[in-house]
Amino acid sequence: MNQKVTCFFLLIFCLLFSSVNNVEARSLKMEDPYIKNTEQWSVQIDHPMFNEQGMAKPKPGIANMYSLVIKNTGETLHNITIEGYRNDPESPTKFGLFSTLVGTVSSGNEAFSHTNFPVSAKSNHVEIVISWQDNPIISKGHAIDGRKYKQTFTFEVN
C-alpha cells in the first residue's frame, strides 16, 4: 500500500514538472501578436501570412518573417508615409526594410498591411516610423500642406 502511494505521488510530481517545462518552452516563441497603440495608431506585428503561392519563406539562421498591420485609430490624416527599419548589433546604422507613401487614411481604417516581411536573424529590434500631415489649409485659393508629425514604434523580435 505504501509503495502504491509513493508511486502515485511520484507520477503526479513528474506530470506537474513536465507540464511546467512545456509552458516555459512555449513562452519563448511568439504566440501572440505584438501590438502597440497610441491615440492615432494601432501597430501590430505578428506571424507571417502565407496566403499566396510563391511567397518568401523564413530561412532559419538567416531571416525570420513577420506580418504588419497598421490602423488609423484617430482622425483622418494626409500624406501618410510608413517605413520599416531593423537594427544590426554590429552597426549603429538601421537598415531599411520597406518604405511606402500611403496618402490619406480616414479614421478607423487600415492604413497599411504587409503579409510577410523578412528580418535578419541577427536583428533584435524592428522600428516602424509613421509620418503624416494635418488637413491642408486653404489660403487665398491655394492649398497649403498641414503640419507634419511622426511617431516611432519599436518592437523586439527574434
Nearest to 112 by CA among 143, 52, 147, 153: 153
In whole angstroms, what is the distance from residue 119 CA to residue 115 CA? 13
The whole-model pTM stands at 0.75
Residues ≥6 apart with Cβ < 8 Å to 86? 94, 95, 97, 119, 120, 123, 125, 126, 127
Contacts of 153 (CB under 8 A, 6+ apart): 36, 41, 43, 127, 128, 129, 130
Q: Please report the pLDDT score of residue 15 as a whole number.
A: 52
For the stretch 66-105, pLDDT in tens is: 999 999 999 999 999 999 999 999 999 999 999 999 999 9
| 31: Cα separation from own chain's centroid | 13
The 8-class DSSP code of residue 59 comes to B
Dig out the grid coordinates for 133 from the structure: 500631415
What pLDDT, on the 0 to 100 scale, is given for residue 22? 37
**CA 23/CA 130 separation, integer angstroms:** 36
Nearest partner of 34 among 85, 83, 70, 64, judged by Cα: 70
Extract the residue ranges of the chain whose pLDDT is less than 50: 19-29
Nearest Cα neighbor of 48 from 72, 69, 28, 71 is 69
Sign of CA dihedral 97, 86, 48, 149: negative
**CB-hemisphere CA count at 13 Å for 17?**
6
